[in-house]
Structure 1
Amino acid sequence: MSDTLQVSGTIRPTTRRQTQPVWNRPATARPGHGEEVSVPGTFVHRPRAQDVLITSWQRLDDSHFSVTALWPHDHPYFVRSHGRHHVMLTGETIRQAGLLLSHAELGVPLGHHFVLGDLVYTTDPEHHATSGAPTRLTIDVTCSRTRMRAGALASSRFDMTLRAGGRIVATGHSSVSVTSPAVYRRIRGERLAARRPAGPLGTPVEPELTGSAADRDVLLSPTGRPGQWLLRISPGHATVVNPENDHVPGLSLLDAAQQAARALIAPVRFVPYAFGTEFRRYAEHGTPCLIAARRVPPAIPGTTTVEVTGSQHGKPVFVSALTALDTHHSPL
């Protein structure tokens, strides 16, 4: 879906680049965290300030960057569980850091569209959140397999190492391609105007089975078949989906996958530390999206692995693999 030309394996600066690191001072205060600040939400495609995780960034050279982030302790959606941060925070941090660097350092204009090819990460299962306080992170970012077009990023892979207090708490990567508004219009055609249709919302799975805080956060509706659910998204849920999106965003699909894995393994507790997803096509509004989960043989003894797929009209939208340490039948 990306119309690109190979230029180089490293990123070539095109505008206002300096060989010495330059701190980019963020402009938006993060409500409720005193001196903590965050980058403008437009740089990370987040309309609400409380959903912005990245606080600052620094260029080290043409393909290496340092980013700082803050994981909130009181976010209403990314709720802590069993003393650990919500598993989706790592994936969302990787996504936001890649978007920020693409816009702020790699020449991608605001309004261009990103196609996420994959998102893969592993977290430290022994890392626990600090009670009653946000977690500050530093993130080492390396860009590779990079293609530039007309001085702007066309595609790249972002490899990241996340540290808290000097300790590695997660590693991961994402692969993205970028399209201009004109190309995106040609790709999407009449679906460009698609929005979530009005109508009744499916009954939610019980929140405790999915690790959700409330019914509106549950992304699964029962189908009556074991290991299968329909994707459900509460209207007006800004953290889950921007109402201006013409398709279901990748983060919603990732969270549906981890909720499905938890629901499949319940009543045994399943807290994934490794999460890998490949995206095959857009998840369209107005079309039922079937979420199916099944156990698969784990690659590491003492772990449980669940494969989750999403499909529309029988065609795959995404496939995820989630792995958790065996909990010896610990309850939810």
Structure 2
Amino acid sequence: MNFDRCVPRESVHKAAEGEVLLTDAQRLGDDRFVVAALWNRDHYLAHHGGPASDPVLLAETARQTAIHVSHRFLGVAYGMPFVLSEISVDLFEALPPVGAEPLAVGLDVVCRAPAEGARRLRLELEAEVLVRHRSVGRVRVAWEPMEPRRYALLRRRGGQAPDEAPTYDQPPYVALPPARVGQLAERDVLIAADPQRAGRWWLRLDQDHPVLFDHESDHVPGMMLVEAFRQAGRVAAADNRPGASGVTRLAVTFSAFGELGVPVSLTAEPAERAADPAATVFTLRARQGDRELAHATVRHGRADSVWARLGEAC
């Protein structure tokens, strides 16, 4: 596999070459592929300074994989909008940190196409994640490439076009310091605390963000909600159990488009008791008014890292 240059940026729907994570892909069988990616330390989603790489960077790698495989191997034409319905990351080992040298990541992919004769091109991808010749977890993506006309009709469902959505003032909020959500810069903090209700946050929508709005979008980007869920889950876990460890599961299901200019609230509540007594699990929801945009499960597990142990052994 090639790790020396990135795939074309249009093949992963990115405008900036620096936002492309994939470097190569090959088809191994009818529904099996192998994909190579390279992570750099200075990427926004790398979440600098932690003992491990963050699962959101892996989720973005899986999202780019779904798009690239669709265009390169499955005959999906360029210019078709992609509607994301699910994305999840499950880790059974902490991802190694990204150091001065880029980190090579491999995905062993199975991509399921719809049954012959199906009217809609709904696709599912599951992949084993390989880092330094070790299997560290799995990712899953479900998405649907759509004809532009059908996408436009979907966006107008309910009689309101995206450019006709009303704009509201941002509700009162309390800013959070970047370190509280695992970031370094203030503009990378995507949530703000609600002063009137504990366990609720408001999405900070910066349409000039160079990564989350790398290209024009008529709705709240799905990866923005994924990162916001991670940040809210981190705050909730820290409030519930000080010193909570890293994310071992991040699973997001999308149910509606989020309109730009309309406040988005995020809430968190404890979920089922985890099998690991050292883990905390939260269910998070993103809403605009009474409409749910997405919900997520975020699990924080043990802080132990095989990479830290191996580093000490060396």
Q: What is the root-mean-square deviation in Å for CA atoms of aligned residues?
A: 2.7
The percentage of counterpart residues that share the same residue type is 26
Q: Offset of 1:130 from its aligned partner?
A: 5.1
Say whether 1:107 aligns with 2:75.
yes
State the distance in 2 between where 1:149 and 1:241 align: 36
Q: Offset of 1:181 from its aligned partner?
A: 0.7
TM superposition score normalised by structure 2: 0.85
Letter in 2 for 1:134: P
8 Å CA contact 2:54–2:95 kept in 1: the answer is no
Say whether 1:268 aligns with 2:238.
no
Q: Over residues 194-244 of structure 1, what are the superposed CA-to-partner deviations in whole Å (9 max), with x where a residue is unaligned?
A: 699798896632111111121100111221111101111223112112452
Say whether 1:219 aligns with 2:190.
yes
* Structure 2 equivalent of residue 70 of structure 1: 38
Say whether 1:175 aligns with 2:155.
no
Say whether 1:311 aligns with 2:287.
yes
* Structure 2 equivalent of residue 60 of structure 1: 28
8 Å CA contact 2:48–2:183 kept in 1: the answer is no
Say whether 1:256 aligns with 2:245.
no
* Structure 2 equivalent of residue 94 of structure 1: 62
Alignment of 1:176-195 (within 5 A): 176-189=143-156, 191-193=161-163
State the distance in 2 between where 1:198 and 1:235 align: 15
Q: Which has the higher strand share?
A: 1
| Structure 2 residues not aligned, in runs of 5+ | 305-314
The 3-state SS of whatever aligns with 1:94 is helix
Out of 288-297 and 80-89, give the one that drifted further: 80-89
Say whether 1:245 aligns with 2:217.
yes
Q: Offset of 1:269 from its aligned partner?
A: 3.5
Q: Which has the higher helix share?
A: 2
Provide the aligned length of Structure 1 versus Structure 2: 295
Q: Over residues 162-191 of structure 1, what are the superposed CA-to-partner deviations in whole Å (9 max), with x where a residue is unaligned?
A: 101210122121111121111111222353
User: CA 1:149–1:72 in 2, change beyond 3 Å: closer, same or farther?
Assistant: farther
Q: Over residues 90-144 of structure 1, what are the superposed CA-to-partner deviations in whole Å (9 max), with x where a residue is unaligned?
A: 1111111010000111111111111111112212434422532111122111012
State the distance in 1 between where 2:20 and 2:165 align: 23
The 3-state SS of whatever aligns with 2:269 is strand
State the distance in 1 between where 2:91 and 2:18 align: 23
Say whether 1:301 aligns with 2:297.
no
Letter in 2 for 1:72: N
Letter in 2 for 1:143: C
**Aligned structure 1 segments of 4 or more residues deviating by more than 4 angstroms:** 147-150, 194-203
| Structure 1 residues not aligned, in runs of 5+ | 1-22, 26-34
TM superposition score normalised by structure 1: 0.81
State the distance in 1 between where 2:231 and 2:79 align: 31
* Structure 1 equivalent of residue 204 of structure 2: 232
State the distance in 1 between where 2:185 and 2:48 align: 13
Q: Offset of 1:327 from its aligned partner?
A: 5.6
8 Å CA contact 1:102–1:153 kept in 2: the answer is no
